[in-house]
Structure 1
Amino acid sequence: MKNLSLILICILLFSCQKKENNIIPKEEKNIISIDSSTTIVKEENKQIGDTIFMNFKDNKDLFLAESSLDSINSKIYVKFKNEDAAELKAEILPAKGKGNIRFNQIILPDNTSDGPFGMDLKIPLKQKGSYVLVIGHSLMAENPYYGKFKIQLEVKKE
């Protein structure tokens, strides 16, 4: 009887242990294999649903991402963090050159907001925390923009 209860306790302990999951989502990192011994991990800011998380800067210290607006995702949310007093310079670069697309709002860490803006944005960032840029078309103009565009953010410390 003692042996049976000891075996049951061991089985219970081994089955209740959490296994660590080290899988990297495909949306966050691209893995490029040169050969079987060399692997390069390319970090990119990708759109997941209607949100882009700006986590990676390029070699010019810019946040870059590609996105698209369609009838399903008529607004795109760009989230980034700022830890110091800085100035934000943001730009939308439509694939078609020009279009009815703009920065509709910026939501500050204290949940206040400002906007609307145009395709370019220059604003001081005085608060620490997470910021959200809302991108969409202007409801005051005709022909909403549908298609691909690039987003470029530059956060310069003051």
Structure 2
Amino acid sequence: MKNILMLLILIFFFSCQQKENKNNSVAISDTISVKKEKEENKQKEENKQIGDTIFMNFKNEKGLFTAEALMDSIHSKIYVKFKNEDPGQLKATIIPSTGKGNIRFNQIIFPDKSSDGPFGMDVEIPLKQKGNHILVIGHSLMADNPFWGKFNVQLENKKE
């Protein structure tokens, strides 16, 4: 009888210690999530391509939105999203890594869902609406050899 009682007491103490270990592991995972959030904030300061979309949120030291993108057979169109707060003139440029290629601005979609295009590798267009704009980059369907590879996109929004 004494052996069974001692066994139950030992099991009780071991089970209490296991709960404390679980609480410690939660505290460790909380610090890991805080570190991950800090790293994500650093990554958000760059304009990067996620899937087929580039979110232009940060300007460089020259006041330009710049990003590096990759066009491949899976992502044959790249969408560049940016927010316009004041009326002005948009100047956008595509710079392929190979020098030239069959790549262009196919379309610009305005906040009211109207659109304009196609354009070439450079576009200058007045922006009269406030809100989120989308530039669609792809290859010209009227030319041979679609572009696959890396390129840079530069946007400059001059306020009037």
Confirm whether residue 66 of structure 1 aligns to residue 68 of structure 2: yes
Unaligned runs of 5+ in 2: 1-29
- Which of structures 1 and 2 has the bigger CA Rg? 2
What is the alpha-carbon distance in structure 1 between the residues aligned to residue 41 and residue 148 of structure 2?
Answer: 25
Amino acid at match of 1:135: I
Structure 2 length normalisation: TM-score?
Answer: 0.75
Q: Give the number of equivalent residue pairs.
A: 128
Moved over 4 A (4+): 25-28
Query: What root-mean-square deviation, in Å, do the aligned CA atoms of Structure 1 and Structure 2 show?
Result: 1.9
What is the alpha-carbon distance in structure 2 between the residues aligned to residue 28 and residue 106 of structure 1?
Answer: 29
How far did 1:27 drift? 6.6
How far did 1:59 drift? 0.7
The 5-angstrom pairing of residues 1-158 of structure 1 reads 23-24=36-37, 29-30=42-43, 43-158=45-160
What is the alpha-carbon distance in structure 2 between the residues aligned to residue 28 and residue 95 of structure 1?
Answer: 28
Unaligned runs of 5+ in 1: 1-18, 31-41
Percent sequence identity over aligned pairs: 70
Seen in structure 2, the aligned counterparts of structure 1 residues 126 and 46 have a Cα distance that, compared at 3 Å, is same
How far did 1:133 drift? 0.2
Seen in structure 2, the aligned counterparts of structure 1 residues 146 and 111 have a Cα distance that, compared at 3 Å, is same
Given that 1:105 and 1:114 are in contact with CA atoms closer than 8 Å, whether structure 2 keeps it comes out as yes
